[in-house]
Amino acid sequence: MRHGFMACGIARAEFLDDHAPALENWLKQGMHGKMSYMERNFDKRLDPKKLVDGAKTVVSLLFNYYPPESLTFKQDHFKISKYAFGEDYHQLIRERLNHLLSELREEMGEVGGRAFVDSAPILEKAWAERSGLGWIAKNSNLINKRKGSFFFLAELIIDLECAYDHPMATDHCGTCTACIDACPTQAIVSAKVVDATKCISYFTIELKESIPTSFKGQFEDWAFGCDTCQDVCPWNRFSSSHNEPRLLPSTELLDLDREAMIELTEETFGRVFAKSAVKRTKFSGLRRNIDFLKG
């Protein structure tokens, strides 16, 4: 597709009544941990019309971030989630979405709407599922039958009536429990339910406090994020390498082996991760993660 997106699906903008009970229950059980922002804007998460006046359509798009197989990190390496290898995806995809919206306006006339890249209270996976782009799997990720799950989700919510796609009729996880069995901290507590307070990605990115010592020795060298449940998913055998130069890791990042990460200075952090999503955790957060791992 133009602008680098790998797939597109279109759904009618309406209240996600089938997702409301699960979201409410997840929040009531405190599975969002310290992510207090998840408690806010409950109605907006479920109703796109509260995000864009007059919304009629949610356009969901997939952007591949699966790295080329030729990329090799040193064997003795702390691990960083694949999505953070290159530049921060927010800026990259927002640029592409805005170009797409501009083209839509040139072709169709006045179109009201907004672009979203993990930047507002919107249930991205639910909308992608509704538009037929895949199904929400047992690890709570969206899986596409032809492309796996290593992709970013993005949306355009617009006030234009469209021809709508339909959800897949079948959940193709079947009896497979590979992701549940492989999760290092047993964070997948039931099918499609992840308890963030047990999740390595939550601990290494979202949590601003000390990591609970009860999880010592369970992180399998993940210093930022975790890809374990995706790495073991059989559907990801269909993942193919992206061709976006801005998502490739720098040589300096590839050379940051375990010893170099332990000795990482704030100056080096600022240089290596200047445009990376890793900067979200800040130097102090990454330092905390590394100290936790090496302890």
Output the pLDDT for position 70.
Answer: 83
Residue range 189-196: average pLDDT? 97
- Each residue of 9-49: pLDDT tens digit? 999 999 999 999 999 999 999 999 999 999 999 999 999 99
Which class for 182: exposed (0-12), middle (13-18), buried (19 or more C-beta within 10 A)?
middle
Range of the domain at 107: 2-294
pLDDT at 1 over 70: no
Residue pLDDT, tens place only, 239-252: 999 999 999 999 99
Q: Rounded to whole angstroms, how far apart are CA atoms 1 and 61?
A: 10
- Give the separation between CA 259 and CA 251, rounded to whole angstroms: 16
Q: In the chain, what percentage of residues exceed pLDDT 70? A: 100
Per annotation, catalytic residue among 47, 118, 159, 165: 118
Helix (H, G, I), strand (E, B) or coil at 277: helix
For residue range 213-231, list pLDDT tens digits in order.
Answer: 999 999 999 999 999 999 9
Count: domains in the chain: 1
The pLDDT, as a whole number, for residue 97 is 96
Residue 43: both structure tokens together: 């109605």
Tokens 């997948």, residue located = 188
Q: In this predicted structure, what is the pLDDT of residue 119? A: 81
Greater confidence, 224 or 2? 224
Give the model's confidence band at 277: pLDDT under 50 very low, under 70 low, under 90 confident, else very high: very high
- Position 199 scores a pLDDT of 98
Report whether 134 contacts 141 (CB < 8 A). no
Residue 73 has a pLDDT of: 80
Signed CA dihedral, 197, 31, 281, 141: sign only? positive
- pLDDT at residue 3, rounded to an integer: 85
18 flagged as catalytic:
no
**Per-residue DSSP letters for 17-54?**
TTTHHHHHHHHHTTTTTT-GGGGS-HHHHH-GGGTSTT
Over residues 81-97, the pLDDT tens digits come to 999 999 999 999 999 99
The per-residue pLDDT for 72 is: 78
Q: Which position has the token pair 């997840």?
A: 26
Over residues 104-121, the pLDDT tens digits come to 999 999 999 999 998 899
Asked whether residue 2 carries a pLDDT value surpassing 80, the answer given is: no
- Closest to 125 measured CA to CA, from 149, 94, 90: 149
Tell me how far apart the alpha carbons of residues 259 and 201 are, in angstroms, rounded to a whole number: 22
Q: Using the predicted structure, report yes or no on whether residue 75 has a pLDDT greater than 80.
A: no
> Distance between CA atoms of 8 and 104, rounded to whole angstroms?
14
d(CA 203, CA 87): 22
pLDDT at 205 over 90: yes
The CA-based angle 12-99-119, given to 5 degrees, is 60
Average pLDDT over the chain, rounded to an integer: 95
Q: What is the pLDDT of residue 71?
A: 83
> pTM of the entire structure?
0.95
**CB atoms inside a 10 Å sphere around CB 263:** 10
**What is the rounded distance in angstroms from the CA atom of residue 78 to the CA atom of residue 260?**
10
Q: What is the percent of the chain with per-residue pLDDT over 90, rounded to a whole number?
A: 94
Task: Give the span between the Cα atoms of 278 and 204, in whole angstroms.
Answer: 10
At position 9, the amino acid (one-letter code) is G
Question: What's the half-sphere exposure (Cβ side, CA atoms, 13 Å) at 148?
Answer: 20
At 69 the pLDDT is 84
